[in-house]
Amino acid sequence: MRNFVLPKINKTILFPLADRLMKTNIVQYHKQITQMNTWSEEKIEEWRVQRLSALLIHAYNNTDYYKDLFDKHNIVPINIKSMGILNNIPPLTKQIAKDNFDRLTSKNINSLNYVIKNTGGSTGDPFKYFLDKRSWSYIVAAYWYYWKKIGYKMGEKYLALGSHSILPSNNKSSLKYDIYYWLKGKCPLNAMNMSEEVAINYLKYIKRRKINYVYGYASSIFLLAKAALNQDIKVDFIKACITTSEILTPYYKETIIEAFNCTIIDAYSAADGGINAFKINDGEYEVGYNSYFRIKSENNSDEKLGVLQVTDLNNYAMPLINYENGDSVSMPVRRKSNYNGQVIDNVFGRISDLIKLDNGNVLTGPGFTIFFKDIAVDAYAIKQGGPMEVIIEIIEAQNYKKENDDLIVQTLKKYAGQDCKITLLKKEMFDHPHSGKRKYFISN
């Protein structure tokens, strides 16, 4: 009864109410995405140009960084005729954004609805920023829109494999979040250690609760599928798996399909740039209308392969224009999709190694990015030092506290095992590879 009634209640009553209380626009953007999906490419482009024009005017009038930058390069943010104006605006790297945090923050930020966010730090260097709730709302609405394509109804149960209760001491239950998760249908389980024993217990949980949808780190869902195959555990009612945070390698994908015989959505999202993209089965990544991306090719060798530069058309709290989030992408030589927006063929640079220890524990990378964003470090790396050793290298931030040493070690021990040696090293700097994308999670 719950699975039938709850989605309808969520859509018609609870989500509009939640939007009002949380000052978000999820329902509104879901309707907008649905409508825009029927537009022509020309109409989509006109809409984007209007949104970009408004953003550039706002950035010029409300941030010191863009006023100085536009004046220096003789950029007049009015009467914008095309998205080509972005060719004249120098790219914004994560380091430049860090160094100019105050100058990038909108002067009228107190009149905007926003949240304080941190990047997960896919390269081991988290970045704090302000995110307009309009941008956050759009990304949530886009997930809702694409999940509906695979039959999911808002409020149905789904397993979320992530970094739930990551801290060793974090075992308190919050009634508010319990109710919130219940309304969403979210069943969160920790994916920091995905040993086969843990994976088997999760498969039993899925069968016991008859969960039809699984969302989480690509490597975690892969390990779940691998355990199902190794132990011959039949889970034939999973309708779809939604992978995120890492590259869905062909091997990962083949294993998941073999185990569950389900639809796969590979979700690529980077909230700091406002970009979200969804790839269903063997299609292309369909990029949300709320952002616009360009590609900076290496040595101008291939204009369809290079570093992603993205502009969030909805983030007025901290405009990030031509923002380089560290990922490289490629565009298809020939489009096979009828989608009326931008598409991406492949996303590179997000793959995390798996650290496999001799005690059977298997560590996955993305969850630790959630942990380190709340620890005062400028950068970090997690490496396998031996069969039963994990090395953590950090660069301390100015407000780093000594007690964090023990917190880091104990957190790693929680997932690696008490019998695993954890070595914490302090560094002044990390070497950056030629590619510019430093790996932060490294196995033997």
198 and 92 assigned to the same domain: yes
Rounded distance between C-alpha atoms, residue 355 and residue 353, angstroms: 6
Q: What is the mean pLDDT of the chain?
A: 85
Segment 234-244, tens digit of pLDDT: 999 999 999 99
CB 175: neighbour CB atoms within 10 A? 7
Which pLDDT does position 132 carry in this prediction? 94
Which pLDDT does position 169 carry in this prediction? 42
Which pLDDT does position 405 carry in this prediction? 94
348 and 387 assigned to the same domain: no
Rounded distance between C-alpha atoms, residue 267 and residue 36, angstroms: 20
123 and 186 assigned to the same domain: yes
Amino acid at position 418, single letter: Q
120 and 74 assigned to the same domain: yes
* CATH number for 433: 3.30.300.30
What's the token pair of residue 13? Answer: 């009553």
Rounded distance between C-alpha atoms, residue 28 and residue 72, angstroms: 38
Domain closes at, from 322, 352, 382: 352
Domain closes at, from 352, 379, 414: 352
Segment 188-201, tens digit of pLDDT: 898 888 899 999 99
Please, how many CA atoms are within 13 Å of residue 73, restricted to the half-sphere of its CB?
15
379 and 257 assigned to the same domain: no
* CATH number for 239: 3.40.50.12780
344 and 380 assigned to the same domain: no
Which pLDDT does position 329 carry in this prediction? 87
pLDDT of residue 262 exceeding 50, the answer is: yes
146 and 279 assigned to the same domain: yes
Q: Is the dihedral of CA 192, 198, 200, 204 positive or negative?
A: negative
Domain closes at, from 352, 385, 411: 352
Phi, psi of 122 (to 5 degrees): -65, -15
Amino acid at position 21, single letter: L
DSSP 84: G
436 and 348 assigned to the same domain: no
317 and 408 assigned to the same domain: no
Note the Cα 40 to chain centre separation in Å: 28
Amino acid at position 27, single letter: V
Which pLDDT does position 440 carry in this prediction? 66
Note the Cα 20 to chain centre separation in Å: 25
Domain that holds residue 131: 1-352
Q: Say if residue 65 is exposed, middle or buried (CB neighbours under 10 Å; 0-12, 13-18, 19+).
A: buried
Q: Is the dihedral of CA 152, 157, 162, 163 positive or negative?
A: positive
CB 86: neighbour CB atoms within 10 A? 18
Rounded distance between C-alpha atoms, residue 264 and residue 346, angstroms: 15
Which pLDDT does position 98 carry in this prediction? 92
98 and 111 assigned to the same domain: yes
With beta carbons less than 8 A apart as the criterion, state whether 305 and 162 touch: no
Query: Of 70, 81, 76, 78, which Cα lies nearest the Cα of 54?
Result: 78
pLDDT of residue 145 exceeding 90, the answer is: yes
With beta carbons less than 8 A apart as the criterion, state whether 320 and 92 touch: yes
* Total count of domains within the chain: 2
Segment 288-303, tens digit of pLDDT: 999 999 998 765 555 6
122 and 221 assigned to the same domain: yes
Phi, psi of 379 (to 5 degrees): -165, 160
Confidence tier at 153 by pLDDT (50, 70, 90): confident
**176 sits in which H/E element:** helix 175-184
Instruction: Kindly provide the b/e burial profile for residues 107-131, where b requires at least 16 CB atoms within 10 angstroms of the residue's own CB.
Output: eebeebbbeebbbbbbbbbbbebbb
Which pLDDT does position 123 carry in this prediction? 52
Segment 58-110, tens digit of pLDDT: 999 999 999 999 999 999 998 789 999 999 999 999 999 999 999 999 999 99
Q: Which of 160-164, 225-229, 277-281, 402-406 has the lowest mean pLDDT?
A: 160-164
Rounded distance between C-alpha atoms, residue 423 and residue 421, angstroms: 6
Output the CA–CA distances (angstroms, integers) from residue 318 to 3, 110, 295, 321, in the order listed: 39, 12, 22, 10
Sequence-separated contacts (24+) of 69-76 with Cβ below 8 Å? none
194 and 276 assigned to the same domain: yes
Q: What is the mean pLDDT of residues 423-434?
A: 76
Q: Is the dihedral of CA 48, 267, 246, 376 positive or negative?
A: positive
